[in-house]
Structure 1
Amino acid sequence: MAYDSQELLRQFGRLMRTFKQQGFSAMSNRSRQFWAKQPERGAFRVLHLLHKQDQLTNSQIVEALDIRPSSVSVMVKKLEDDGLVERHESPDDKRVSLISLTEKGQALITSSHDFKNEFADSLFDGLDAAEQEQLGTLLAKLTDSLQDKFKKWDDGAERPEFFDNMPEQFYRGHGFGPWGGHGHHGHHGHRPDFRGFGGFGSDSDKPSKD
């Protein structure tokens, strides 16, 4: 017998609600302290690239990250001022500057990796190794399927009929039902808001056994 898809959706919503209501609050203090010390996202990409490639020129960073040369120059200068990267002459061409991580920059990358590893280990330690592997496989399969499906739905291809028959209270603009909140207009006057999974996962959403 196939697993009840409504129960699967309820459990998924329960997971999202747990993250929103408890998880983010529980880890917010430590994460704020950690990320407050980190460079901005673009600069962090430069650090990770240098960690993998050891040393690169400005133009090589531009090509690898597909960022404007002026943006790379600004980020590298900021990282250099912060003591995270350093420039030195290329042994092959003294006109060329090579950029590499300093000890401080390397330590920052290491601490970032350690933080993410500890967080991941703590997050999934309720599952044994086999269960974690199975979950990873299933989540990857589900994500690939949904990306393809949502693209077709958004393009109007293979759009399910149930969208056209959706009960009015399910629309975001009415502030109740599984999504709730105040929305913007879309197809047929409103667009459902799937981001919050507001009602999914609550005890009241669990189907009766009667």
Structure 2
Amino acid sequence: MYIPKAFEVDDKTKIVNFIKDNSFGILFSHHKNNPFATHLPFLIDEKKYDKGVLISHMARANPHWRDLDNKEVLVVFSGPHAYISPSWYEEPRIAPTWNYVAVHAYGEFKVIDDRDEVEKIISNTVNFFESPLPNPWLVSFDDKFIDGLMNGLVAFEIKLNRLEGKWKLSQNHSIQRQQNLVKGLASSDKYHSLEIAKLIEENILKVEEKPN
């Protein structure tokens, strides 16, 4: 991913937390010499292996997994994004742009065949997404219905070798311009304008709190 220095984030903790908060990613690779993508929920275990691992599953009927074992893949996680109008800068000679947050994760794909490991992956996935709910649903592998579903999926892990973080939040502009953008974004109800405004405000506070 193209990342100008002003927008680069290499803080692993920040990137890992972003993935946990924006865990519905897109798995990219080639399948039969053509680009192929699958939208999936992912878990991340940052302590496994040297650089962590992504864990997920997909439908067995999906051909994507069949030629991926031991191959490098890319998973993209997208966060809030918003259009930036030149009018908000209140200055001439400014072009429109788009602010956004994204993480790219690269790693080696491996199919998980062991039934106990597959059950653990499914159980952990369900628990992760159910835990914020008032009445979490629990998966039971003794249920014939669930057992039938298990036969129709493929679990896998992606051993990470590289994480890229891009927080494009107008950090390359002056504090005054950034403050003007916050006001402009607050007036918009399109995309994730309020979330982007909040992130810009957080960046401004960090700069202002730095000792001279």
Normalising by structure 2, report the TM-score.
Answer: 0.26
User: Comparing both chains, which one has the higher relative contact order based on Cα–Cα distances under 8 Å and sequence gaps of 6 or more?
Assistant: 2
Richer in strand (by share): 2
Normalising by structure 1, report the TM-score.
Answer: 0.26
Richer in helix (by share): 1
